[in-house]
């Protein structure tokens, strides 16, 4: 049993829901360094992971489409949602023996990245407690557990980001990575390893790590600290009110958060002002967020960071209605933003050191509901970067037909690659020792692989 101490009380407070509320109101960075095997890692390298989360559940069936003889089954299942075969952008994965594939036409910016080996596709990824097949699913899942509240946005969002769909967790898998690696790689940085331009998320929450919130313009500034309604004395009084110690746990933590927020804003603003990043980005939500990520990468030396983790978010993927038009617009923004970011990492000379990956709480049903598709399970993800073993498809591409071997009903895909395997592959490349993977992805031993092979 853990003894109750002020330090344990403080950690419990930060890990709870109240901490997320405070993060929203007072963005800040703090990393309380945990011991880790990473302290033995080499001292001269740099790596970054960038998660682009597609909030709402991306429609995988129109993102990557089987063409050739398999197109007819896709067309029958999708009805009015089917994309014309002539509009699809052909993909030619190396070493792939499945049906010919086509990419959504709005992702034209990604087609050359795939062809040049800078992008890979990981097929049918999803939250799993343990491997499960269609026969087990149809048998009432009596022998194989499944994630709690499947097809629910909030639950699957949390399961994807915590990596623990069979239990309640207050940390995410990239938060646990930062807990392990921060001391070894960023010992003197005043900014958290985990930074978000896309708002609060569970993915980056650790036991000793709290995500630092940015916006597309830079560090979030606490206003009126130097001049409150024209009064410098008022500004100074406000600063004292926000940062002086409180008399209780809540007050002390609130003021400590405020003080760190103020100090970190100065540090980040100074670093961004001293870095150079001139690459062009589209003026979209994704483009602006990824531009800020590139700016923070360019400032990595000034920030004292050899490891960085970023979270970017794009909303609007809940396509119950008007899927054709809305999906096309979202994917155009996504593809153009990712391509611009990949060019920026090359301009900065860090393409081999930055890996970008997509995620979404679930895929969608293959069967049309009339104008859209309903919540699904497995989906396809992109991984981009100079270290990616690209122009390849990893995992098993599903049968895109109603009643297929991965069909959980209405064409919802039973995942054949777990989030655990996907996460472990990213984490190993990032520097998590093999012996520490069970700390990051505790259920990994239930699955076939800790390395899917898409990163060198």
Secondary structure of residue 272 in the 3-state scheme: helix
Question: What's the rounded Cα separation, in Å, for the pair 381 and 218?
Answer: 28
**109 in the Ramachandran plot: left (φ > 0), alpha (ψ -120 to 50) or beta?**
alpha
- The pLDDT of residue 13: 39
Question: What's the rounded Cα separation, in Å, for the pair 394 and 224?
Answer: 52
Question: Chain-wide mean pLDDT for the chain?
Answer: 88
- The pLDDT of residue 249: 81
Question: Looking up tokens 């985990």, which residue turns up?
Answer: 194
Question: What's the rounded Cα separation, in Å, for the pair 381 and 442?
Answer: 22
Using only C-alpha atoms, the chain has a radius of gyration, in whole angstroms, of 22
Say yes or no: domain 30-221+280-446 is CATH 3.40.720: yes
- The pLDDT of residue 277: 85
Confidence tier at 69 by pLDDT (50, 70, 90)? very high
Q: Which residue has the higher pLDDT, 206 or 21?
A: 206
Q: Please, what is the Cα angle at 239 between 237 and 242, to 5 degrees?
A: 110
Confidence tier at 233 by pLDDT (50, 70, 90)? confident
Q: What is the mean pLDDT of residues 53-74?
A: 97
With a pLDDT cut of 70, the percent of the chain lying above it is: 84
- The pLDDT of residue 26: 32
Question: What's the rounded Cα separation, in Å, for the pair 110 and 118?
Answer: 9
- The pLDDT of residue 224: 54
User: Does residue 20 carry a pLDDT above 70?
Assistant: no
Q: Which residue has the higher pLDDT, 243 or 72?
A: 72
Beta strands 417-418 and 119-126: pairing type?
parallel
- For residue 292, report the phi and psi dihedrals to the nearest 5 degrees: -65, -40
Instruction: Give per-residue pLDDT as tens, 317-363.
Output: 999 999 999 999 999 999 999 999 999 999 999 999 999 999 999 99
Question: What's the rounded Cα separation, in Å, for the pair 172 and 178?
Answer: 10
User: Does residue 437 carry a pLDDT above 80?
Assistant: yes
Strands (E) located in 135-243:
194-196, 209-210, 212-215, 218-219
- The pLDDT of residue 44: 52
Question: What's the rounded Cα separation, in Å, for the pair 423 and 224?
Answer: 42
Confidence tier at 261 by pLDDT (50, 70, 90)? confident
Question: What's the rounded Cα separation, in Å, for the pair 101 and 103?
Answer: 7
């Amino acid at each position: 049993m853990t003894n109750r101490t002020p330090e344990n009380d403080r950690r419990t407070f930060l890990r709870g829901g109240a901490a997320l509320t405070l993060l929203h109101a007072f963005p800040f960075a703090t990393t309380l360094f945990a011991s880790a095997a990473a302290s033995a890692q080499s001292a001269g390298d740099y790596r970054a992971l960038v998660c682009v989360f597609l909030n709402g559940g991306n429609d995988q069936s129109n993102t990557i489409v089987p063409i050739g003889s398999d197109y007819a089954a896709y067309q029958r299942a999708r009805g009015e949602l089917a994309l014309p075969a002539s509009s699809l952008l052909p993909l030619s994965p190396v070493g792939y023996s499945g049906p010919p594939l086509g990419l959504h036409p709005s992702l034209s910016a990604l087609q050359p990245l795939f062809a040049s080996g800078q992008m890979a596709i990981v097929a049918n990824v999803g939250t799993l407690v343990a491997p499960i097949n269609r026969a087990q699913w149809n048998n009432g899942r009596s022998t194989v557990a499944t994630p709690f509240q499947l097809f629910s946005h909030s639950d699957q969002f949390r399961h994807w980001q915590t990596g623990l769909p069979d239990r309640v967790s207050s940390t995410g898998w990239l938060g646990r990575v930062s807990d392990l690696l921060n001391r070894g790689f960023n010992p003197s940085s005043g900014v958290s390893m985990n930074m978000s331009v896309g708002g609060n998320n569970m993915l980056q929450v650790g036991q000793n790590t709290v995500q630092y919130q940015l916006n597309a313009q830079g560090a979030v500034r606490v206003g009126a600290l130097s001049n409150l309604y024209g009064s410098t004395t008022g500004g100074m009084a406000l600063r004292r009110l926000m940062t002086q110690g409180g008399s209780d746990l809540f007050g002390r933590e609130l003021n400590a958060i405020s003080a760190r927020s103020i100090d970190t804003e100065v540090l980040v603003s100074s670093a961004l002002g001293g870095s150079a990043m001139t690459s062009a980005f589209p003026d979209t939500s994704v483009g602006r967020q990824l531009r800020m990520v590139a700016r923070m990468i360019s400032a990595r030396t000034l920030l004292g960071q050899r490891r960085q983790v970023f979270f970017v978010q794009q909303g609007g993927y809940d396509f119950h209605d008007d899927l054709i038009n809305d999906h096309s617009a979202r994917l155009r923004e996504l593809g153009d933003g990712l391509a611009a970011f990949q060019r920026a990492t090359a301009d900065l000379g860090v393409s081999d050191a930055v890996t970008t990956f997509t995620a979404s709480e679930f895929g969608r049903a293959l069967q049309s509901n009339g104008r859209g598709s309903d919540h699904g399970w497995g989906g396809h993800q992109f991984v981009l970067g100079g270290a990616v073993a690209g122009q390849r498809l990893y995992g098993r591409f599903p049968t895109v037909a109603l009643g297929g071997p991965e069909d959980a009903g209405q064409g919802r895909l039973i995942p054949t690659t777990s989030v655990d395997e996907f996460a472990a592959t990213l984490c190993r490349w990032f520097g998590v020792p093999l012996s520490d993977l069970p700390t990051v992805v505790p259920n990994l031993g239930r699955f076939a692989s800790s390395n899917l092979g898409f990163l060198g």
